[in-house]
Chain A
């Protein structure tokens, strides 16, 4: 049973436009969420995180939004650049539910077209 779902395996966006990557979760004990970016032949790289006490966190071109009632989060990249082309993984953990490790989604492959 997938606790973290990224329903879009791929996404294509034009350079300069907004990229929106979505993630849904089912476990209500999750209260810390992260996005990782992965280039081919490299390990995932931490991008941005958000805890459940917030509904938005911003870092430069990257913003993560959290909708707890819908158990949904999204990553916005504005403006999108060709170097953003990578696989993006959503991950979740529950800090107060024991030593729950990160649970990852299957990823969304973002292609930013110049």
Chain B
């Protein structure tokens, strides 16, 4: 158990809909990262927050947004969903923003299926 929790575990929805994925980081970790893993693909970095502020941005679509709240939990919002958005979405947390000994610890993921 990494200490990172994600809800829900599974989500099935229809095209055009909007969903919210939730992540609670490990106790004491200030950074939260979101990743997308599509079929047979590696982990694609979406976005990072550090202590409530956006810190780094990857290939995140404009239809997707995220935020980190004062209690450090984070939410990833996916809107106008398309079939291609079906994937595993992982959240990870780490103590700092970057650097050595700043390993990211991953949650179990949310499997999103868009029908």
The residues of B with any CB-CB pair to A shorter than 8 Å are: 2, 4, 33, 35, 40-45, 48, 50, 55-56, 58, 90, 92, 97-109
Contact = CB atoms under 8 A, between A and B. Distances in A.
Contact of B108 (A41, A51, A98, A104): A41
A101 B48 contact: yes
B26 to A, nearest CB: 12
Given A43-B2, A49-B103, A93-B98, A101 B58 contact: yes
Contacts, number: 63
Given A46-B104, A95-B99, 12 more contacts: A32-B99, A41-B108, A43-B90, A43-B107, A45-B2, A45-B106, A51-B100, A99-B98, A104-B35, A104-B44, A105-B42, A106-B42
Contacts of A43: 2, 4, 90, 92, 106-109
B110 to A, nearest CB: 10
Interface string A75-114: 0000000000000010001010011111111110000000
A34 B103 contact: yes
